[in-house]
Amino acid sequence: MIVDQPVADEYREIAGRFTALVEAVPEEDWGRPSPVPEWTAHDVVRHLVGWFPPFLAGGTGVKLPSGPDVDDDPAGAWRTMSDGVQAVLDDRACAEKILTNPYIGEVPLPQAVSRFFTADVFMHTWDLARATGQDGTLDPERCAVMLEGMEPLDELLRSSGQYGPKVEVPADADVQTRMLAFIGRDPGWEPTAS
């Protein structure tokens, strides 16, 4: 999270960018490969829509609204879930809730959303943009904050299976390149011709 930015505003900004990318994907491009091995553009959205609602409900009892099936309408599925996340973060009563999880313990709900979901949406923004030929430029300040927070957890993140091996990049590479390489993405990845 950028210093002093409220969690609800942080999500609004990051999810808004992702939503704009989702809404710009032509139907025929959902099957295009993404920088995540063996994932398509469709799979990037499926991942975000699939893992977070049960994580939130299991840890807080908060249920997000159900939208269309992601296989039938990825944009509609994303919008419905994302609007639900924003409503949770905008609800002052939810600010007092605690998310409980056997792996992370107890975390205030807004911080849990920021740390686990908003960060995931931010990283996958690049994946969806690259897969669909859109602008993959990420906010450098946010890249720097995320990289600084992740580097001390290198071994833990790697052992979780959620991050691929680090990609070697020049030491003087820009912060977006270094952040992407840290999470196991090839910053120079280009979709193969279909």
Per-residue pLDDT 10s for the chain (194 aa) are 455 789 999 999 999 999 999 999 999 999 999 999 999 999 999 999 999 999 999 999 999 999 999 999 999 999 999 999 999 999 999 889 999 988 889 999 999 999 999 999 999 999 999 999 999 999 999 999 999 998 888 887 777 777 888 899 998 999 999 999 999 999 999 987 55
Contacts of 16 (CB under 8 A, 6+ apart): none
Q: What is the pLDDT of residue 194?
A: 52
What is the spatial distance between Cα 113 and Cα 128, in angstroms, rounded to a whole number?
20
Q: What is the pLDDT of residue 89?
A: 97
Residue 100's H or E segment, with its range, is strand 98-101
- Establish how many alpha carbons lie within 13 A of residue 118's alpha carbon, considering only the half-sphere containing its beta carbon: 27
Domain 7-137 has CATH 3.30.930.10: no
Q: What is the pLDDT of residue 193?
A: 58
The domain spans of the chain are: 7-137, 138-187
What is the spatial distance between Cα 30 and Cα 71, in angstroms, rounded to a whole number?
10
Q: Which residues pair with 43 in a beta bridge?
A: none
Q: What's the pTM?
A: 0.93
